Amino acid sequence: MKTITLAITGASGLPYAMRLLECLLQSGQRVHLVYTQAAQIVAKQELDFVLPNRPQDAEQVFAERFGKLGGKLKVFGIQDWYAPMASGSNPGDAMVVCPCTMGTLGKIANGISDDLIARAADVMLKEKRPLILVPRETPFSAIHLENMLKLAHAGAIILPPNPGFYHHPQSVQDIVDFVVARILDHLGVKHELVKRWGESDSRG
């Protein structure tokens, strides 16, 4: 069982985050979840889903949404400085920011650790643990690109949610699964979400 920090910010793309969370729990991972107030707004807009203000309430909501899966979920507040991932002594195995706003990306790129998400990402970089950023914006400005390059040089994985179409997606869910599959690949988590390049029969 790996410990994965999943941070959700207020960019468009909450379906990616919810599917990723489901797949991580389904595969038996321990997930430490944190999200911004803007993510709460986008979740309501895109999924008609309410992300509660209190972590305890959020854990109950997710338990009802996903039922009994193999993994374990712990939700933390955005200003919870006692959360494990706030310290290099307990960073977990990897972190994903999905979706990632340009504001959050910019803070991480410039070492501005003013909330738990930015601090946890800073910890991942300094401890040389996998940090995956899923930036959902278009077009990218020169500032966005410079920040992404800075983060790539620092060791982060920049993984924009750009779906491929060689697997002949038949639904929005297929497109979401393609992106989530790439994230899971980089986390080293096994899945059977999409048919891989060169595979003609089985999904996986």
The number of helices, as runs of H, and strands, as runs of E, in the chain is 7, 6
- Residue 149 in this model has a pLDDT that exceeds 70: yes
Q: What is the pLDDT of residues 177-199, one digit of tens each?
A: 999 999 999 999 999 998 888 87
Alpha helix stretches (DSSP H) within 35-155: 37-47, 55-66, 102-109, 116-126, 142-154
pLDDT mean across residues, the chain: 95
Its pTM stands at: 0.94
Strand pairing category for 72-76 and 30-35: parallel
CATH 3.40.50.1950, applies to 3-164: yes
Domain residue spans of the chain: 3-164
pLDDT at residue number 68: 81
